[in-house]
Amino acid sequence: MNNPILLIIQREFLTRVRKKTFLLMTLLAPLLLAAVMIVPGILASMPEDDKAIIVLDEPSILLPSEGTEQFSLDYLNPSEFDLELAKQFLRESDKDALLYIPSGNGWDPDFIKNNVLLYGKEDIGIDLQRFIERQLEEKINNQKLIQQGVDPEVVTQTKTQVSVKSFTLGEEDGNEETSATPLKMGLGYIAGILIYFFIFFYAVQVMRGVIEEKTSRIVEVIISSVRPRQLMMGKILGIGLVGVVQFLIWVILSGTIYTVVSTFIYPEIFAQQVPMGPDAPDLSQVDQSNIFAMINSINFPVVLGGFVFYFFGGYFLYSALFAALGSAIDQEADSQQFMLPVTAPMIIAITTAMNVIQDPNGPLAFWMSMIPLTSPISMMIRLPFGVPVWQMALSAALLVGTFFGVVALAGKIYRVGILMYGKKVTWKELYKWLKY
């Protein structure tokens, strides 16, 4: 006797893996991901063109600075030029921009800082603008200090930078760990987002698969050979397997591309920090020399084990819900009204991710990591920071328990739903099916 669940898993897996779109997605996604990681680095490191700037510096505040290699400064004589003449001069010259610094009445630094003008033949690049602003800030600062009778040299010498080494106090002496908050933030956040996408992407595929079987009317043929629950579980496992394979290929390919590009093609860029997303924690604060101590401070077996557990736990929970949804509707277009309530917890978990990161042991983080519909994401974000064992155990137990509960309920809805055609289903109707 063949094991029907294995047969179903096999079919679900093979039909998906053999599709051209699978191959395409599997190969293209890492390229896209790598591009997302690499392109900003390349772009950020690309210098703007050299610019020649003419300066009409009435208070002689910038003089005698000649600028940099990239931005060269040439000064006009303020006694020969006014702003209009200078603009005229810019038009006729091969220079790129005109910087006008008015002296105002009586050399007032506050007047100057508010009335500096920069004209460009083309749009002024952000780097040029920053360069000018920094130069002027420094000069005006010094000028103000001198006016107050302070030697700018003294100020420079007294400037102090503090870098606190933070530790997490262990139970015993000598057990102190170097705190690695930024690294933990990054790790938790990325792991949470991965789980979010995985659940979304593949649980929806389970729903699609169920709808496909329903609309093609094969489902009754199948369930005259296997139990509806076996069909549902086979589908969930088969698609999950596709996800795992795709995910592993992505990790390997992305890693390979990243390594190749960063070590062989653009090594100089990757020596600097690569900017991530705007939301991503700033890793640049990480003291490079401390990095190994930090890595050691994270309990990787727990984080990795947690990732695998919540990755699958979340997927199984949601895909069972989506399977029930798919069984209740006739076509995908009808799925919208049911999708939102089901996906809302996940969306809440991801939108509160930053709050959880900022206070990983606070009440929000605690409750979000206990509620099974949000815990796969929220608990994953917390894990790198270290979570008490009882909380991990409780969260895991709740997730597993809920999973079995949901599978039982989803199975009932599924069993009725797959044989129900041409009926607009309501929530009330779904509730009734539980009792059939």
Q: How far is the CB of 221 from another protein (least distance, A)?
A: 6
Q: Which is nearer to another protein, 312 or 433 (CB)?
A: 433
Q: How far is the CB of 4 from another protein (least distance, A)?
A: 6
Peptide bond into 182 cis (omega under 30): no
Q: How far is the CB of 10 from another protein (least distance, A)?
A: 9
DSSP 202-256: HHHHHHHHHHHHHHTT-HHHHHTTS-HHHHHHHHHHHHHHHHHHHHHHHHHHHHH
The residue to which tokens 């995908």 are assigned: 332
Q: Which is nearer to another protein, 231 or 303 (CB)?
A: 231
Q: How far is the CB of 187 from another protein (least distance, A)?
A: 40
196-225: which residues touch another protein (CB under 8 A)?
212-213, 216-218, 220-225
Characterize 73-99 residue by residue with b for buried, 16 or more Cβ atoms within 10 angstroms of its Cβ, and e for exposed. Answer: bebbebeebeeeebbebbeeeebbbbb
Q: How far is the CB of 415 from another protein (least distance, A)?
A: 8
- Where do the H-state alpha helices sit in 67-174? 83-92, 109-115, 126-147, 152-158
**What are the residues whose beta carbons fall under 8 Å from the beta carbon of 28, sequence distance 6 or more?**
none
426 binds another protein (CB under 8 A): no
220-279: which residues touch another protein (CB under 8 A)?
220-228
CA pair distance 115, 396, nearest whole angstrom: 62
20 binds another protein (CB under 8 A): no
24 binds another protein (CB under 8 A): no
Contact letters (x/-) for another protein, 386-425, by CB under 8 A? -----------------------------x---x-x----
* Candidates 2-10, 119-127, 330-338, 346-354; binding stretch for another protein (CB under 8 A): 2-10
65-84: which residues touch another protein (CB under 8 A)?
none
Q: How far is the CB of 269 from another protein (least distance, A)?
A: 44
* Summary count for the chain: helices (H), strands (E): 18, 6
Q: How far is the CB of 427 from another protein (least distance, A)?
A: 15
Nearest of 189, 184, 188, 191 to residue 308 by alpha carbon: 191
Amino acid of residue 370: M
The residue to which tokens 């602003």 are assigned: 133
Q: Tell me the site size for another protein, rule CB under 8 A.
A: 27
Q: Which is nearer to another protein, 165 or 217 (CB)?
A: 217
The residue to which tokens 């010259």 are assigned: 93
Task: Specify burial of residue 325 (Cβ count, 10 A radius: 0-12, 13-18, 19+).
Answer: buried
Other Cβ atoms less than 10 A from the Cβ of 136: the count is 18
Q: How far is the CB of 241 from another protein (least distance, A)?
A: 17
Q: Which is nearer to another protein, 4 or 67 (CB)?
A: 4
Q: Which is nearer to another protein, 57 or 213 (CB)?
A: 213
Q: How far is the CB of 388 from another protein (least distance, A)?
A: 46
Q: Which is nearer to another protein, 204 or 223 (CB)?
A: 223
The number of C-alpha atoms within 13 Å of 293 and in the hemisphere containing its C-beta is 16
Q: What angle do CA 107, 113, 115 make, to 5 degrees?
A: 90
CA pair distance 377, 369, nearest whole angstrom: 8
- Max intra-chain CA distance, the chain: 102
63 binds another protein (CB under 8 A): no
* Candidates 4-12, 184-192, 357-365, 387-395; binding stretch for another protein (CB under 8 A): 4-12
1 binds another protein (CB under 8 A): yes
Residues that bind another protein (CB under 8 A): 1-2, 4, 7-8, 11, 15, 212-213, 216-218, 220-228, 415, 419, 421, 432, 435-436
